[in-house]
Amino acid sequence: MGRKIIIADESIIIQKTAELVLSGKDYALEFIPDGEEALRMIKDMVPDVVLADVDLPDMNGYELCSAVKKDSALKDIQVILLAPEAGGIDEEKYKESGADDYIIKPFEPDELLSRLETAKASTDIIAELKEETARLRKELKHAEESADKKKNELLSKIEAANDSEEVVTRYKNEIHQTDEKIEILNKDILNKTDDIERLEGTVAGLKKTLKQTEEKYNGLSGELSKERNASKVLDDMVADLRDRLKQAEEKSKKLNVELLSRTDDVSSSDNIIADLRDKLKKAEDAGSRNREMIEKLLTKTIPEVLEEVEEVLKKSIDDTIPTVKKILAEKIENINKEKSE
């Protein structure tokens, strides 16, 4: 038997067009001119597809479709609305009605056939889904029955176990032993926690000691750097004295050439040069002693180094500054004398 189609439309042209297009196809057609009569026929026949004009009298196509979709026995029927080209489809009413599709009149034969094939495919899918749902429900029911059976078996075993006083006692003993093991483990964990806290305290103390040692070392490095700077300043002063000695020697030679008759003055200049040489040697000896002191400091412990650096710095400053001041004062005095002569 072919697929049943009800066409609810007043238009004779639509009826004849549908007959012409679907003749020879596997469809059984019924035509109804109004909506209420179409609904009664749909309930009696339960067709596969309904084509309903949106402008039907008594009950329009939107209302007819809503009535079909709200009926649990008819909701799977494919409903295609037919809308005039002038007014078109009312999208809001179309969605509210629950229609499966719509066609704008007049329509081409191929379009009608295509929509009916789509409706057929949808119907087939719905049928397959129903069959699958029925199968799954059957499997679910079987699974529930199997689960109930296993549940009853387990309950029976539990009841049998409860009836056995020996089994119950054994279970209680096992539970008690397990509790004791858990308590021992908790104590062990607490002991381990205390050990970890002590280790963390030890590590913190070591970090603090290390930081203090680094600070002392950095302070010592600063003092040694200052001592090296002082030694460099002393070396620079020695170099300056050498330059001044060289200048004095050159000036002495010049005085010997120009002022041969002034033997006393030349003798005085020679004495100044000898004095400068003696002071230069003392300064060099002091610088050498300071360098030897720095080398010794590098091989001693941090407290010894700090103590000796403090003494050396004090002694070096006390010894060097007066010597330098004296040398510079004498040199300036000699230069002033030479300029005045």
Q: 73 pLDDT exceeds 70? A: yes
* pTM summary value: 0.42
Poorest-confidence range of 42-46, 125-129, 258-262?
Answer: 258-262
Q: What is the mean pLDDT of the chain?
A: 79
Q: Who wins on pLDDT, 106 or 165?
A: 106
Q: 218 pLDDT exceeds 60? A: yes
- pLDDT category, 203, cuts 50, 70, 90? very low
Distance CA 69, CA 77 (A): 8
**Torsion angles phi and psi, residue 198, rounded to 5:** -65, -45
Strand partners, 32: 8
What is the CATH topology of the domain spanning 3-132? Rossmann fold (3.40.50)
- pLDDT category, 35, cuts 50, 70, 90? very high
- Cβ proximity of 31 and 15 under 8 Å: yes
Report the alpha-carbon angle 254-255-258, nearest 5. 85
Distance CA 291, CA 231 (A): 7
**How far is CA 110 from its chain centroid?**
59
Mean pLDDT over 328-334 rounds to: 82
What confidence tens digit (pLDDT) does each residue in 7-23 have? 999 999 999 999 999 98
Q: Who wins on pLDDT, 143 or 77?
A: 77
Q: 286 pLDDT exceeds 90? A: no
- pLDDT category, 94, cuts 50, 70, 90? very high
- pLDDT category, 61, cuts 50, 70, 90? very high
Give me the pLDDT at residue 259, please: 46
Q: Where are the domains of the chain?
A: 3-132, 208-340
Give me the pLDDT at residue 37, please: 94
Q: 127 pLDDT exceeds 70? A: yes
Q: 144 pLDDT exceeds 70? A: yes
Q: Who wins on pLDDT, 294 or 153?
A: 153
User: Sheet holding 49-53: strands in order across?
Assistant: 27-32, 3-8, 49-53, 78-84, 101-105
- pLDDT category, 98, cuts 50, 70, 90? very high
Q: 64 pLDDT exceeds 90? A: yes
- Give the number of other Cβ atoms within 10 Å of residue 104's Cβ: 15
Give me the pLDDT at residue 78, please: 96
Q: Which of 311, 290, 161 is nearest to 235 (CA)?
A: 290
Give me the pLDDT at residue 106, please: 87
Give me the pLDDT at residue 25, please: 85
